[in-house]
Amino acid sequence: MKSIHIIGVPMDLGQGRRGVDMGPSAIRYAGLDQRLQELGYSVTDEGDLTIKTQEEQRIKDERAKYLPEISRVMKLLAKKVERSMNKQKFPLVLGGDHSIAIGTIGGVAAHAHKQKKKVGVLWIDAHGDFNTPETSPSGNIHGMPLAVCCGLGPKELLGVGGSFRKVEPQNVAIIGLRSIDRKESDSLSKNGLNLFTMGEIDKHGIHRVMKKAFQKISDVDYLHVSFDLDSVDPVYAPGVGTPVKGGLDYREAHLIMEMIADSGKMTSLELVEVNPILDNRNQSAEFAVELVQSAFGKSIL
């Protein structure tokens, strides 16, 4: 029986809209533990990391807002994820905004690095999250985590999990892109990440796109899946920090997770950007729990 280790990270410092810090509670309230146990998994919930609120601190650098506290929490998260994997447990991290991926991937990479193994990332998101303080229009760190994991960004974040590049850009596939800053787009192309836009999904279908993504990142030992709920169209998931029309529909999102389950390659998972304040009767958190079930093997038959 696979043992799942849940870690909550109620982080809202990485983005401008309040409320996403309540995401872990909303996902738990939607019955996450019970749904996973029904699938035959052993579940341990460690609770939430403690994070200073925006009111408790000042912004020292407008290009990387709340950097000291985000850096502190990410180092703590990385240690918890690494420890979980060292014990052969599956880390399931609940956000919070997408800046938490710096800590999650930092921990996965720290575990893999000691074994000289390679990490791959499936990044399911409307956004590239590949800005740096120099290119970001807002200074919000939730737009920077993938760049940090690929070795670009503030030194305080690059050191999370160890002083090495956490994932090689060619071992990253972003699924569902539809909102990218201009300078960010240039950087994504220059660094050679595998990019799959909503336009490609419309043209070729999600099944073919996912098969291609798996082919591109097949040469890895650990596969981290980072699912930003804003990849889904706001019709199905209205409660997210940065909703963008034209996203994944209900079946496309589930098929992504079902194909991940069928691959048998996923070794860690995080769900981010659920914002109950913007939601409709916890609809988005309930959808998130359904997606987790699909990723862990729930099928119709």
Active site residues: 98, 125, 127, 129, 142, 228, 230, 273
In the block, residue with structure tokens 């999102």: 253
Sequence-ordered strand ranges (E) for 178-248: 194-197, 222-228
Main-chain dihedrals φ then ψ at residue 15, nearest 5 degrees: -145, 170
Tokens of residue 198, six digits: 């909503």
CA atoms of 37 and 11, how far apart (whole Å): 26
Q: What are the structure tokens assigned to 225, written together?
A: 């899946």
- What values do phi and psi take at 272, rounded to 5? -135, 165
- List, in sequence order, every beta strand (DSSP E) within 29-116: 42-48, 90-95
Q: Which residues contact 148 (CB under 8 A, 6 or more apart)?
A: 102, 154, 157, 158, 160, 166
**Local structure of residue 238 (DSSP, 8 states):** -
The CA R_g of the chain, rounded to the nearest whole Å, is 17
Q: In what order do the strands lie in the sheet with 3-9?
A: 42-48, 3-9, 90-95, 266-272, 222-228, 119-124, 172-177, 194-197
Say which residue the tokens 């074994």 belong to.
115
Q: Distance from CA of residue 98 to its chain's centroid?
A: 6
Amino acid occupying residue 189:
S
